[in-house]
């Protein structure tokens, strides 16, 4: 291991670890050589509507979110997604077993008649 002194900070670098030249990285971004990086940083730094609303009116944003969740719950309950169905043995059977295939054909024949 090698000790590197960088100003007041003492760093320990393992042998074989990749090193990053911070001066070169800072100069690349600052000089505008990579315009895509600067454009991306500017775009990511712009304020978003939802974050501004959360800062300005947090209770309203939370209330709207909870209201949407309740609406989805009531719609799901109205459509019958929470209704308990009658349980059959079909969910627990081994489908490759011959007895299960015979039983399934017998039940299908009973329904057809």
Would you say 113 and 107 are in contact if contact means Cβ atoms under 8 Å apart?
no
User: What residue spans define the domains of the chain?
Assistant: 2-45
CA dihedral sign, ordered 90, 93, 95, 99: negative
pLDDT band at 62 (very low <50, low <70, confident <90, very high): very high
Question: pTM value?
Answer: 0.41
Predicted pLDDT of residue 72: 97
Q: For residue range 81-104, what is the model confidence (pLDDT) as tens digits?
A: 888 877 666 666 677 888 888 888
Q: Determine how many CB atoms are found less than 10 A away from the CB of residue 100.
A: 14
| 95/26 Cα distance (integer angstroms) | 64
How many Cα atoms within 13 Å fall on the side-chain side of residue 21? 6
Would you say 32 and 38 are in contact if contact means Cβ atoms under 8 Å apart?
yes
| Helix (H/G/I), strand (E/B), else coil: 15 | coil
């Amino acid at each position: 291991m090698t000790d590197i002194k960088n100003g007041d900070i003492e760093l320990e670098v393992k042998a074989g670890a990749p090193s990053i030249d911070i001066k070169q990285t800072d100069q690349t971004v600052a000089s505008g050589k990579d315009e895509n990086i600067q454009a991306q940083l500017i775009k990511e730094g712009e304020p978003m509507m939802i974050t501004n609303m959360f800062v300005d009116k947090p209770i309203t944003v939370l209330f709207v979110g909870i209201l949407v969740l309740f609406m989805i719950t009531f719609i799901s309950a109205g459509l019958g997604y929470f209704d308990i169905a009658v349980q059959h043995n079909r969910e627990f059977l081994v489908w490759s077993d011959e007895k299960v295939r015979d039983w399934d054909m017998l039940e299908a024949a009973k329904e057809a008649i």
